[in-house]
Structure 1
Amino acid sequence: MVTLTGVGGVGKTRLALRVAAEMSRAFPDGAWLIDLAPLVAEELLAETIADTIGCRQPSVAALSEHLLNKRLLLVLDNCEHVLNECAILSGKLLASTTELHILATSRQSLQVPSEHLLEVPPLTVHGTGEAMVATADARYEAVRLFEDRAAAVVPGFTVDAANSAAVTQLCQRLDGIPLAIELAAVRMRALSVDQILERLNNRFRLLATERTVVAPRQKTLRALVDWSHDLCSPEEQLLWERLSVFSGGCDLEAVEEVCSGDGIAREDVPSLLIELVDKSILVRRTQDSGVRFEMLETLRQYGWERLTDSRQETALRLRHRDWCRELAARAEAEWFGENQMEWLVRIHQEQANVRAALEFCLSEPGQAWAALEIAAAMWSHRLSWSSPSEGHHWLERALAQETGPTAARAKALWVDAWLLLLQGDLSAAQPLLLECRGLAERLGDEAQLAGALHITGFAALLAGDFTRSFTLLEEALVRRRALGHRGHSWVALFQLSMVAVVMDDPRSTALCQEVLEASQRANAAWSVSYALWVTALDRWRHNDPDTAVTMMRDALRFKLRCNDHFGIAEGLEGLAWIIADQHQDNRAAHLLGAAHMVWRSIGTSLSGLGHLAGLHGRCEAQLRGSLRNEAFTVAFTRGSQFTLDQAVAYALEEKPARDPANSPPESDVASVLTRREREIAELVARGLSNKQIAETLVIAQRTAEGHVENILRKLSFTSRSQVAKAWSSRQQAGAP
């Protein structure tokens, strides 16, 4: 473990990314960036790491097992605000694995026993008393950085005899801090070097008298940010401060809702955002869902401090809370419809904001009721959590604080029980359902009583008590329809059709047809995937395997688009059951192994999913009999070693799934790629994401994604790791 330490803005993150890119070939299992800046709760550190590296069970034991025998690099960026948890988790992971390497950035040491510290110094600047020569000044890193960044905003700018003294003095005053230099260079749009220096000098003298206990470099950075703040108009300053309430970025509508009023007219928000982007306070990101605005963490913290000084932070966090409540409520109300996929993307995008709002509600006295409402409304978008256990984490905390007999508590109880059931934990869910039903009856709340009956019926399905499950779900469906709950009704209908299929009930075909038509009529893609899955099983049970295979593969395609790991595991299982009856024994065993891999990754056990466990057991017994135990075990084990993408590709028979260990050296791999594709393949091999590739090459992220897809298609690969391995092998072979 190496920890890069240093003052804010010195370039720790940038250095860590460069090191990871340069060393990516030494880590065949990847170099993974984990940005901890948006993390608001230490308890979610393991969740965040697990979600990033593809381990869907966020426990130390699961992470250790996932990392065992993998040679990879974790880059833990911005550890300072979750220092204790980072230290504990890093120490445990390093002690339980042999090939794990960690590169951390923090303003202070994590004090892990195996930690090596490297202080990141500022860029080199001209020494005091050293003669300044224009032709020699370019040897100093700080001067070179200023010249490069200034030339980006003033084409043709160079450090010459006329400005060398001013540039050098400016870099000295900024102590060579990269962020400070970059912010100063941006001012070249309107000012000369001498004008920047003059204004900066005035600010430094003021700070030197007021903030004597702050380290010099911190004074320098704060002075520059203070000065950048002063260059903004009063409205821009106010918006900057208010924007600090957001975590992980925001869009225009969110800014208008949370930040307007009391000095900022709503109609002025767009122009103010443009000004803040132009002044490099905000970064504008274009994504598939539209434009978002992000702020460097240093600048966000600065804005938050000023907001706190004005004693406006609580009022703004309440507005931010209300915006998150409204967002969650709208997502719940509109999730079953043509905008279902858009809502899945948006809620996932706002995950950091929702987490921040929940943490505020659970740390501010008297606000836990709002946490109950927000977290419970997210039931329809469980994919937005890193795993079902994260949703349970928030609801468990909120329920412990808000114990009054309210409808919000009743709803939170059945939602929490549902999340526990998805993890296969029936015993923990049962008392929640009992309390929910009793509370709903006492309150006379028909909606929450329907919820209690519904999830109790789902629990009976998982427990294998199909007759009771059918009765409860049928009653829940009647109640949901009477209340006009379209989305809830569809879920109850889907689960009812599932019970009918596993019971061989004669009503199964009609129910499956109804659930499929309802989801297609609503144009709800995620729901269609589940309807296809259960209908495929019904066709299989009624001796129509060809149709069943086609529908199951269609379901898998939808689930891959949604990144629904639970649904993908169900699809792999279902396809294995179907083709096993078609005597495709070896392929079916591979698929059972692949499904096993996904179940484990999301922390779910088939033993807790009774409706699936029985069908799985029947299929496994059949395959062990036809293949014999040894051959079955070999095929099952091989399937369990697939990546998620490989598993789905194998199931769809669209591309051959290759064992990563058998990826060819491919010294001629570049021959089928264009020059730009070779350039991008090199960056993929370094471990860069599509977003990072786009930023490096100054192209749109969507363009980068298209190039990566073309590379995978041309090479018949199914994952980025195969590209990285093939490219690294090519370079090791000495290919140009």
Structure 2
Amino acid sequence: MTEVTRASRRRPTGRLPAEVTSFVGRRHEVSEVKRLLSSSRAVTLAGMGGVGKTRLAQRVGQEVCRAFRDGVWLVELAALENPGMLPRVVLEGLEVRDRTASPPMQVLVDHLRGKQALVILDNCEHLVEACATLVGTLLRAAPELRVLATSRQALGIAGESTMPVSTLPLPEPGGPRPSVESLMQWDAVRLFTERAQAVLPTFTVTPGNQDQVTEICRLLDGLPLGIELAAVRLRALSVQQLLDRLDDRFRLLTSGSRATLPRHQTLRALIDWSYGLCSEKERLLWDRVSVFAGDLDLDAAEAVCSGDGLAREEIMDLVIGLVEKSVLIREEHRPGVRYRLLDTVRQYGRERLAESGQEGALRRRHRDYYRDLAARARRELFGPAQVDWFTRLHLEHANLRTALEHSVTEQDEARTGLAMASDLLYHWITSYYLGEGRNWLERLLAAHTEKDDVRGRGLWAAAWLAVLEADTDSAARLLDESRRIGDLLGDESVRAYVALYSGMIEMWRGETRAAVGLYEEALAGHRACGDPAGTALALIRLSLACSFLGDSPRAIALGEECLALCDAHGEGWHRAYTTMALGVEVWRQGDADRAADLEKQSLAFNRSLDDPLGAGVNLEVLAWIAATQGHFQRAARLLGAVDTLWRTTGASLSGYGHLAEYHDACERATGDALGEQAYAAAFTRGARLPYDDALGYALQEDTKEEGAQDRKPGRADQQPLTRREMEIAQLVAQGMTNKEIAATLVIAQRTAEGHVEHILTKLGFNSRAQVAGWIGARNRAAEEPPGDAPA
């Protein structure tokens, strides 16, 4: 007689392991998985190894167990190597004792038919085909069954819902330094702290170590397993020692829980497992894409990684395979899809690439690709593709930096690197990389000393950046050598740019008429060379100089000529600066309203391009206009906002020489009108505005905000936040995390994070609890009658 004993009859609630450590974060993910399970019978959590898929699945199982009459069951597959054993292992996980002669799959089907249960299949990636067949069979036989799988790639069955599981969120680098309390709102930091306290009970995050803790979490990409392994090392190391040694993370992070599988006990073993799941060509592509920094697009992967065993037409399918295996992370950007490697995964690939002996060749191919990209961007700069190029170069900044570093450090590559750094001149200027661009040019000029056309161009490019940083002495020295090279080679283009930037220096020195002569020389040279970008720059600067001399008709004519030139080429950036220059002249003529309109047009474009230098000049001119109109509170706030912007970018208005006089006059007039205390208060309020809010204020997008400074403190209607920020502050007060806020409002998590930081800055708070208290006070005040209302 045959018999099947079903232990589940004695324990219908299933079998899930008890949590032995705290479950950190993931509230939004838990909610999302529960939602998917309510509408789909098969849900797969997909993500890189060590990202926390198993813990997430187990937490979901615990929260939904009452919804499943016949229990929630965890079946661990990581140790299973033989796909043919899969049905039997699942039976064991369900605690079914099979004493029959029937095939295990049939026993499994018979057991689950009619059951209302959730089966969690954990670690399916190495058994994807077998798991897909099993799950498909079970779901057809058992209508009330749900399956939750964890894998590094989807199972690929009909009706499957896949949810990518990302690493834990981290503070963005380069942002304002948060307080310790607000830092602890980030899941990665909180996980590190809790695991550190488990091995070192006295550990705490303090103002003295918070930067190191944050950087440790960043270097580990917010990967939970990496963070847990790192925290264990605090038994023997200080936080700083741990950070210093993370470059060798695969050797350092080798101690995990002995209760887990060996590959989950070390970071290297975990990545080894992922590497082994890839095909030979996928592994080859993994190694090669590790030469990229930041992220990359498909074109770059095809250009750099093809050849020597990988055909170009194969790259797309291999990229798809690595995305499906959670090695490459797919991200949406405005120009299109890009792919990113976690830093830990990249370092592993680089080690493999170095072992293969191909690292040098791949680095050169990487550099050559981005050298050509920079050259194309320069050629197409003055035209309709301009904004797209600026956006792309911004996305590629990490790769551009890596390519330039190769040119600096490799023998006989400096000339190529100097040409590339010069080609990127507008990238340095229209972004936050002004100082970095100058540094690259100076390093490469020191390495390439031959007096050729590349050095001549590199010298005047570095000089423009020096002028923008108000270092006119250095700029003059650079231009002097560039002029000598231009004369030696008979290079009219070099001489024209030297004249242009020499004119800027003369304007800074107060020698306006000398500057006009140099600008006219530059204009003639650029026209002779057929250089529209140089021509536009000369027209803009000459227009500003003529305006300052009081020659209004010529200033306007030059500006209009530049607008026509830009429009003929479909160009926007030089046009925005031309509009700015015309705004200055119109303001000087006394038409403040039209001048403000012109500056706002220019600012709107500079904001869309994310050009902080152009935006800074616009804010300056709008402040002068406001003072002229008697709007001194607005003028002071704009002066404060632009002061913060100049300090942030490392630039100054001195790049426009004579315009500094207008700034000083505005500052004096505004201070005299408001008085020292009121001026300081308004200036500080503007200085504290986040960049995006400062631009919105300058554009007067929230007219209610204009009068906010006139309201009396303590009134319930006092509203320092925008409507969107108030909405988010209310959700913060409800205890929502940034992820939950993003999900509720259907916005990106980074957008939610930025809003919360802006709210804290505006209110002068350093914790979310303070925001909650402020919202509560406002709500109570709104319910009370005004003081002068009848009792």
Tell me the TM-score range normalised by the shorter chain.
0.5 to 0.7
Which has the greater radius of gyration? 2
Q: Is the 8 A contact 1:69 1:97 kept in 2?
A: no
Question: Quick one: which of 288, 303, 326 aligns to 2:349?
Answer: 303
1:316 equivalent in alignment to 2:362: yes
- The alignment status of 1:53 with 2:170, answered yes or no, reads no
Residue deviations 1:643-667 (CA, integer Å, cap 9, x gap) = 32333233222211678x9899999
Q: Unpaired runs of 5+ in structure 1?
A: 1-7, 16-30, 36-48, 55-66, 79-93, 127-170, 178-216
Please give the residue correspondences for 1:15-414 in structure 2 after superposition, counting only pairs within 5 Å.
Answer: 33=170, 52-53=174-175, 73=183, 103-105=214-216, 112=240, 124=257, 126=259, 171-174=260-263, 176-177=264-265, 217=266, 221-383=267-429, 386-414=432-460
1:531 maps to: 578
Give secondary structure in 2 for the equivalent of 1:294: strand
Task: Provide the residue aligned with 2:560 in structure 1.
Answer: 513
The structure with higher relative contact order (CA 8 Å, sep 6+) is: 1
Cα 1:73/1:706, change in 2 over 3 Å: closer
How far, CA to CA, are the matches of 1:76 and 1:399 in structure 2? 45
Q: What is the CA–CA distance in structure 2 between the aligned matches of 1:436 and 1:481, rounded to whole Å? A: 20
Letter in 2 for 1:636: F
Give the AA of the match of 2:452. Answer: T
Partner residue of 1:477 out of 516, 523, 529: 523
The answer on 1:448 being equivalent to 2:477 is no
Match of 1:198 in 2: none
Q: Provide closer, same or farther for how the CA distance between residues 70 and 405 of structure 1 changes in structure 2, counting only shifts above 3 A.
A: farther
**How far, CA to CA, are the matches of 1:525 and 1:683 in structure 2?**
44
CA positional deviation for 1:623: 3.2
- Between the aligned partners of 1:529 and 1:646, the Cα distance in structure 2 is 20
Helix, strand or coil: the match of 2:296?
A: coil
Task: Pick closer, same or farther for the CA change 1:381–1:669 going to 2, 3 Å.
Answer: closer
Q: Which residue of 1 aligns with 2:479?
A: 433
CA distance in 2, matches of 1:585, 1:398: 47
**In the alignment, is the contact (CA less than 8 A) between 1:646 and 1:719 conserved in 2?**
no
Of 584, 589, 597, the match for 2:631: 584
Match of 2:612 in 1: 565
Q: Distance in 2 between matches of 1:310 and 1:323?
A: 21
Residue 121 of structure 1: CA displacement?
A: 9.2
d(CA) in 2 for partners of 1:348, 1:460: 32
Superposed displacement of residue 454, structure 1 = 1.8
* Native 8 Å contact 2:330 2:339 kept in 1: yes
Rate the CA distance shift 1:480–1:588 in 2: closer, same or farther, 3 A.
Answer: same
Aligned to 1:417: 463
Counterpart for residue 207 of structure 1: none
Name stretches of at least 5 consecutive residues in structure 2 with no aligned partner. 1-47, 56-167, 190-204, 220-229, 247-251, 780-791
**Cα drift, residue 263 of structure 1:** 1.5
Between the aligned partners of 1:508 and 1:591, the Cα distance in structure 2 is 26
**Amino acid aligned to 1:404:** E
> 1:302/1:32 Cα in 2 relative to 1: closer, same or farther (>3 Å)?
closer
Answer yes or no: is 1:553 the counterpart of 2:664: no
Deviation readout 1:573-603 (Å, 9 max, x if unpaired): 1112223222223322332232222222222
Letter in 2 for 1:604: A
The 3-state SS of whatever aligns with 2:337 is strand
User: Is 1:636 aligned with 2:683?
Assistant: yes
Aligned length: 571
- What amino acid is aligned across from residue 345 of structure 2 in structure 1? L
**Sequence identity of aligned pairs in percent?**
34
Instruction: State the 1:514 CA deviation.
Output: 1.9
CA contact (8 A) 2:733 2:771 kept: no
Contact 1:376 1:411 (8 Å CA) reproduced: yes
Q: 1:544 to 1:706 in 2, by over 3 A?
A: same
State the distance in 1 between where 2:635 and 2:470 align.
24
Listed one character per residue, the Cα deviations across residues 478-498 of structure 1 (whole Å, up to 9, x for unaligned) are 211221222222122222212
* 8 Å contact from structure 1 (residues 463, 609) kept in 2: no
CA RMSD of aligned residues (A): 4.6
Q: CA deviation at 1:123?
A: 6.5
Q: 1:679 to 1:282 in 2, by over 3 A?
A: farther
TM-score by length of 2: 0.63
Find the aligned partners of 2:450 and 2:697 in 1 and give their Cα distance: 51
The alpha carbon displacement at 1:563 in A equals: 2.2
Q: Deviations over 1:302-339 (max 9, x none)?
A: 22122212211111111111111111111111122222
Preserved CA contact (<8 Å) 2:689 2:762: no
Provide closer, same or farther for how the CA distance between residues 397 and 76 of structure 1 changes in structure 2, counting only shifts above 3 A: farther
Shift of 1:474: 1.6
Within 1, Cα distance between the matches of 2:671 and 2:728? 45
C-alpha distance in 2 between matches for 1:669 and 1:449: 52
> 1:378 Cα deviation (Å)?
0.7
CA distance in 2, matches of 1:386, 1:684: 35
Q: Deviations over 1:109-151 (max 9, x none)?
A: 677599999999977563xxxxxxxxxxxxxxxxxxxxxxxxx
**Contact 1:669 / 1:727 at 8 angstroms: preserved in 2?**
no
1:293 alignment partner, SS class: strand
Match for 1:496 among 522, 537, 542?
A: 542
CA distance in 2, matches of 1:123, 1:698: 37
Secondary structure of the residue aligned to 2:470 is coil
Following the alignment from structure 1 to structure 2, what is the Cα–Cα distance between the partners of residues 611 and 96? Answer: 43
Partner Cα distance (2:620, 2:693) in 1:
15
Question: 1:336–1:562: structure 2 CA closer, same or farther, 3 Å change rule?
Answer: same
Find the counterpart in structure 1 of residue 660 from structure 2: 613
Q: In the alignment, is the contact (CA less than 8 A) between 2:287 and 2:349 conserved in 1?
A: yes
Mean Cα deviation higher: 635-644 or 255-264: 635-644
Q: Which amino acid is the alignment partner of residue 615 of structure 2?
A: I
Q: Which residue of 2 aligns with 1:603?
A: 650
Counterpart amino acid of 2:215?
A
AA aligned opposite 1:586? Q
CA distance in 1, matches of 2:271, 2:452: 47
CA deviations on 1:5-31 (whole Å, 9 max, x unpaired) are: xxx98779xx9xxxxxxxxxxxxxxx9
**What is the TM-score of this pair, normalised by structure 1?**
0.67
Pick closer, same or farther for the CA change 1:116–1:602 going to 2, 3 Å. Answer: closer
In 2, the alpha carbon distance for the partners of 1:625 and 1:551 equals 27
Which residue identity lines up with residue 320 of structure 1 in the other structure? Answer: H
Tell me, yes or no, if the aligned pair for 2:633 and 2:682 is still in contact at 8 Å. Answer: yes
**Residue pair 1:456, 1:472 contacting (<8 A) in 2 also:** yes
Report deviation, 1:515: 2.0
In structure 1, how many angstroms separate the alpha carbons of the residues matched to 2:621 and 2:512?
Answer: 19
2:636/2:670 contact within 8 Å kept: yes
Distance 1:367 1:707, change over 3 A: closer
Distance in 1 (alpha carbons) for counterparts of 2:406 and 2:740: 35
**Partner AA of 1:545 in structure 2:** A
Alpha-carbon offset, residue 274 of structure 1: 0.7
Shifted more, 618-627 versus 104-113: the winner is 104-113
Counterpart code for 2:574:
S
